[in-house]
Structure 1
Amino acid sequence: MPAEPLSPHDIEAGLRDLPGWELEGDRITRTYRLPSHFAAAGLTVHVARIQDELNHHSDLTLGYNTVRLSVNSHDAGGAVTQKDLTLAGRVEAVAPGHGAT
């Protein structure tokens, strides 16, 4: 069953609990800064594992000392759904362990 798009109010409410995440067009996004390229690569691998566990994948970009995520739900016509907020919350929980800010 496809995920249901969230209302703008529900997206805003969900983002209040996700510091640094923001709505950009039809996606939620966040860029993390890390102490080194190695730390950024480690976070990228950790995020990939979470995405596989959830069977929900973001656009994930590794920079020198940054990791950027951008996500929406294709099965909801490219809208933001609870699956996106759940993924963001899981990433928020592990990012500090990699030194991300």
Structure 2
Amino acid sequence: MSRLLTDDEVTRQLADLPGWAREGDAIVASIEAPDFPAAVRIVVAAADEAEQMNHHPDIDIRWRTTRWLLSTHDAGGLTQLDIELAHRISAAARAEGAELGG
């Protein structure tokens, strides 16, 4: 199991993740894709990354907006897995020309 990050570690690492914010024991982001197919491509790319990591996000899709919630449930909060997956999701979003919001 991954180690829980301290509050300071989370704050410091979120500084490198524009558009992501902490909500309790999770980090969240909304991603606005150019269109619905681009939103789905972001989800597919992120799903591939998540499967490789064996670390799966909560995802909500509403037309071209996706909302992401990351937490390491078995650890009871945020771990480095969440930060790494957030970076990978952000990269997939940028590749599709999407905008990240908090």
Q: TM-score range by the shorter chain?
A: over 0.9
Corresponding residue number in structure 2 for 1:85: 83
Larger RCO (alpha carbons 8 Å, 6+ apart)? 2
Corresponding residue number in structure 2 for 1:97: 95
Q: 2:61·2:67 contact (CA, 8 Å) conserved in 1?
A: yes
The amino acid of 2:54's aligned partner reads N
- CA shift, 1:75, in A, is 2.0
Q: 1:29·1:70 contact (CA, 8 Å) conserved in 2?
A: yes
Aligned ranges 1:1-101 → 2 under 5 Å: 2-77=1-76, 79-101=77-99
The one-character-per-residue Cα deviations of 1:3-55 (angstroms, maximum 9, x if unpaired) are 11111000000100000000011100010001111111111111111100111
Give aligned-pair identity as a percent. Answer: 36
Alignment RMSD: 0.8
Structure number with the higher helix fraction is: 1
TM-score w.r.t. length of structure 1: 0.93
Matched residue pairs, number?
99
The amino acid of 2:59's aligned partner reads L
Unaligned runs of 5+ in 2: none
Unaligned runs of 5+ in 1: none
